[in-house]
Amino acid sequence: MAERHIEGYHVEIIPPKQDSQKLEEDLALFASKLTRIRGSGFMASITDNAMGLLAFQGHECIEELGIDIDPDKILIHLNTFHTKQNLEEILDECRKLGIFNLLAISGDGSTRLPKLRPEDVDATGTASVTSVELTRYIRKRYPEFNVGVAFNPYEPEAHEFEKLKRKLNAGASFVITQPIIEKNAIVDKLIEMYPDLPVTIEAWMSKKLYLLSDVVGYPIPEDAEFDPIGTLKQLEKDYPQCGFYLSLLGFKTQYPVIEEMAAERAARE
Amino acid sequence: MKIVVCIKQVPSAGDAKIDPETKRIVREGSKSVLNPFDLYAVEEAVRIKERKGGEVIALSMGPESAKNALIEALSMGADDALLLCDRAFAGSDTWATSYALSKAIEKIGDVDLVICGKQAIDGDTAQVGPGIASKLGMMQAANVLSVDAVSADSLTVKRMNERGYDVLRLKLPALITVVKDINFPRIPTLRNARIARKKEIPLLKPADIGADPDKLGLAASPTRVVKTAPPAVRESATLNIAGGSGEAAAALVNELSSRGLL
């Protein structure tokens, strides 16, 4: 299977939570967002129990609701908090749906989520499964999948680049960064070191910048002003070769602006 | 095999508040969840059903909102659910609750096995399971960490004790309470979750289960709560350690040692 390149806008969507009190409503909203993203020609990035909060899986929402999708424009996040049986089911179901883009991440656990064991993914010489072992397993057992990995420019640089090397050696073929809000020297270095590696930059679309405090590793004041759209526009100028992953995008007010930006970008190209 | 699994909706661990006047848990306005230990009870009941056939009935007592806990049990594979829901049940302590649940189990009829979580995280008494068994005259084993064999008339289990475990064979009908080592509760599929939400959950009053109203509620509860207090909030924080990898590793070891974690 030809390797797919991940570019343009990725719009993050979160499937309904397991404890939803209005599940049908939430499912309808999920379906309408997915349909809208498809109509715009963007990539829909569907999270996997984000923040360790139990949610339904993206593929089962698509299947159960019979949502019409463009499989090449779906990116399924897959973390290490599953049983082996769950993992195989997710991969098999994605394959049936024709979805071959995955983002392998270590993920956030909780007491309610199981954790893959090294033997589940044929890993030896390690006490725990990370995105490296997960990527290697998927690429070995399911070589038709196009597996992306995360890159965190806030981690110690040498450590993060060494980890990225292991992820790429395991078979990863694209990268999505943690959110940045301005030109970032570590991301610049990543692009310089791997000029052929598709890099998608996460753009933070919430006005609540302080929610990024844990990611960046220092406190951001709650009243810090932040212009997500303006920041995205600047990032697009700084990184014209990259795709953009839009997290916490507002569908009512921000989405139409993003569509306009995409149309302008297409006209320019 | 007919299995009843008794479950309880409790305030989320991080969301519990106590009324300083009544010393009772304030349930209104707080996020409620299925008692974590009951997840293991539901899972074990469903696993036994999957192995041996039969049915699983989830049973709870509480306000109408406790239906959410029952929906979770249905999503995990329980076949039916019943909720004891009436003002007469309100304020029941473990004694009165055991009585109410035992009357409901009698009403269900022909129950082979009752499974409870080892305790609820709000009261932490671990009394209701044994109380039900006592009232129904069933054999019981508390703190079960594995169900090793199930036959038409008996159940072989490992019961946790201070030194390890005992192997017990219980004649059915019996009641067990389970600990979290017994299994890893499944995460419901979307399909099952949707079916569960459409299922009717009957609300039962004392008369429906043949319970004597004089044995229910606060007035019939011998327990008197003298004092309660919320646990101290445990703060979490991110510690950033600067420096090169060797220096940072040494600082981390020092930090963990100083907290008695190494």
Tell me the mean pLDDT in the region B201-216. Answer: 96
Nearest-angstrom CA–CA distance, B207 and A207: 56
Return the bridge partners of A146, or none: A101
pLDDT of residue B23: 67
- How high is the mean pLDDT of chain B? 91
Tokens of A164: 């990225």
* Greater pLDDT, B14 or A267: A267
Is B261 inside any structural domain? no
pLDDT at A78 over 60: yes
Please state, as a whole number, how many other Cβ atoms lie within 10 Å of the Cβ of residue A67. Answer: 18
User: Under the phi-then-psi rule, with left for phi > 0, alpha for psi from -120 to 50, and beta for the rest, what region is A49?
Assistant: left
User: Is ipTM > 0.95 here?
Assistant: no
Determine contact, residues B84/B90, Cβ cutoff 8 Å. no
Which two tokens mark A51? 């923040």
Give the pair of three-digit tokens for residue A253: 């007010």
Q: In this model, does residue B150 exceed pLDDT 60?
A: yes
Query: Does residue A16 sit in helix, strand or coil?
Result: coil
The answer on pLDDT for B146 being more than 70 is yes
Domain carrying residue B35:
2-220
A3 touches B: beta carbon within 8 Å: no
Chain B, residues 53-82, CB within 8 A of chain A, namely 68, 72
Contacts of B135 (CB under 8 A, 6+ apart): B98, B99, B102
pLDDT exceeds 80 at position B151: yes
- CB-based contact (8 Å) between B51 and chain A? no
Please determine, for residue B14, whether its predicted confidence score (pLDDT) is greater than 70: no
d(CA B168, CA B139): 11
A152 three-class SS: coil
CA torsion B56-A52-A105-A160 (nearest 10°) is -150
For residues A252 and A258, give the distance between their C-alpha atoms in angstroms, rounded to a whole number. 11
Q: How confident is the model at residue A159, as a pLDDT?
A: 94
pLDDT of res. A3: 41
User: Please, which pLDDT band fits residue A84 given cuts at 50, 70 and 90?
Assistant: very high
pLDDT band at A4 (very low <50, low <70, confident <90, very high): very low
Burial A234-267 (b: 16+ CB within 10 A, else e): ebbeebeebbbbbbbbbeeebbeebbebeeeeee
Asked whether the predicted pLDDT for residue B20 surpasses 90, the reply is no
Residues A248, A204 contacting (CB under 8 angstroms): yes
- The answer to whether B144 and B157 are in contact (CB under 8 A) is yes
The answer to whether the CB atoms of A60 and B189 lie below 8 A apart is: yes
β pairing state of A74-78 and A101-104: parallel
Asked if the model's pLDDT at residue A178 lies above 60, the reply is yes
Q: What is the CATH number of the domain that holds B162?
A: 3.40.50.620
- Bridge partners of B169? B156
Position B15 pLDDT exceeds 80: no
Question: CB distance from B241 to chain A under 8 Å?
Answer: no
Could you say which of A54, A111, A159 has the minimum Cβ distance to residue B187?
A54
A64, B240: Cβ pair inside 8 Å?
no
The answer to whether B189 contacts chain A (CB < 8 Å) is yes
Residue A218: the pLDDT is 83
pTM, 2 dp: 0.86
Q: Is residue B36 part of a domain?
A: yes
What is the reported pLDDT for B226? 82
Give Cβ neighbours of residue B202 (< 8 Å, ≥ 6 apart): B82, B83
pLDDT of residue A235: 95
| Mean pLDDT over each residue of chain A, to the nearest integer | 93
CB of B130 within 8 Å of a chain A CB? The answer is no
What is the rounded distance in angstroms from the CA atom of residue A244 to the CA atom of residue A187?
Answer: 13
Predicted confidence (pLDDT) at residue B169 exceeds the cutoff of 70: yes
Percent of residues, chain A, with pLDDT higher than 70 = 97
Q: Give the pLDDT of residue A2.
A: 35
Q: Which residues of A touch B185 (CB under 8 A)?
A: 112
Residue A150 DSSP code:
E
pLDDT of residue A1: 37
Domains and CATH numbers, chain A: 9-268 (3.20.20.220)
The answer to whether A178 and A203 are in contact (CB under 8 A) is no
Size of interface A-B (CB pairs under 8 A): 41
Using alpha carbons, select from A19, A150, A159 the residue that is nearest to residue A80. A150
Q: A60 touching B, CB under 8 A? A: yes
Q: For residue A57, which residues of chain B lie inside 8 Å, CB to CB?
A: 190
Q: How confident is the model at residue B142 (pLDDT cuts 50, 70, 90)?
A: very high
Sign of CA dihedral A251, A253, A254, A256: positive
Q: What is the mean pLDDT of residues B208-213?
A: 95
The pLDDT value given to residue B133: 96
Residue B239: name the closest of A209, A218, A179 by CA: A218
A 10 A CB-CB count for A197 gives 15
User: Rounded to 5 degrees, what are φ and ψ at B75?
Assistant: -60, -30
Mean pLDDT of A22-28: 97
Q: How far apart (Å, rounded) are the C-alpha atoms in residues A200 and A176?
A: 5
- Residue that wins the pLDDT comparison between B227 and A137: A137
**Which residues touch A253 (CB under 8 Å, ≥6 apart)?**
none
In whole angstroms, give the CA distance from residue B187 to residue B206. Answer: 33
The answer to whether position B15 is within a domain reads yes
Which chain A residues are closer than 8 Å to B191 by Cβ? 60, 64
The domain tally of chain B equals: 1
Identify the burial level of B74 via C-beta atoms within 10 angstroms of its C-beta, where 0-12 means exposed, 13-18 middle and 19 or more buried.
buried
The larger pLDDT score, comparing residue A90 to residue B124, is at A90
> Does the residue B236 lie in any domain?
no
**What is the C-alpha separation between A83 and A85, in angstroms, rounded?**
5
Q: Hey, is the C-beta of B238 within 8 angstroms of any chain A C-beta?
A: yes
At B144 the pLDDT is: 97
End-to-end CA distance of chain B, in Å?
49
More confident: B235 or A119: A119
- Say yes or no for a CB contact (<8 Å) between B190 and A56: yes
Helix residue spans in chain A (DSSP H): 23-40, 58-65, 84-97, 131-141, 157-169, 185-193, 213-216, 228-238, 254-268
pLDDT band, residue B223 (cuts 50/70/90): confident
